[in-house]
Amino acid sequence: MTTASTGTTEHPHVEILRTIYADLTTVAHYAAGDIVLHRADRTAEDPRVCRGIQAVLAHERALIKLAQGTLFMDVEHIAATEYFGAVLGVLRARLPRQIAMPFCGLWRFEGGRIVEHWENAYAAAELRQLFAIPTPRSATS
């Protein structure tokens, strides 16, 4: 069963997510200290989990650096409630080569703070290859 709200007021978490996608490093302002991030380049054999604000920030900064400052999250739709958020859009970068890849970010909130985030890229293997994303030793489990 699908239901739709008839109200036009956005949940405050929508604005939080909009802010984060405009500048990935702002996640620290809204995250719980023990936030868990499930990276887009994860596999069943290697779950690539970042734990804690510092590990999440290191991951976001690494993505920005690998794209040589050309990374842009083109947000198309955001839906959020008290407990969850979903963001659909296109990840774009010009370097190390041009890419435009659909993504879906899923977020879990507790008490207004982000406690968990799942990065989902349409072609995670291609993204992994493009960026050769490093895994910080202290950030994974």
Round to whole Å and give the CA distance between 72 and 66: 12
Q: Has residue 94 been placed in a domain?
A: yes
Q: Has residue 21 been placed in a domain?
A: no
Q: Has residue 18 been placed in a domain?
A: no
Number of domains in the chain: 1
134 — pLDDT class (breaks 50, 70, 90): low
Q: Has residue 37 been placed in a domain?
A: yes
pTM of the model: 0.84
* CATH code at position 62: 3.10.450.50
Q: Has residue 47 been placed in a domain?
A: yes
51 neighbors 36 (Cβ within 8 angstroms): yes
Round to whole Å and give the CA distance between 37 and 29: 15
Q: Has residue 66 been placed in a domain?
A: yes
User: What pLDDT digit, counting tens, does each position of 18-62 carry?
Assistant: 999 999 999 999 999 999 999 998 888 888 899 999 999 999 999
More confident residue, 130 or 17: 17
Round to whole Å and give the CA distance between 76 and 103: 10
Q: Has residue 131 been placed in a domain?
A: yes
Q: Has residue 44 been placed in a domain?
A: yes
Q: Which residues span the domain enclosing 97?
A: 28-136
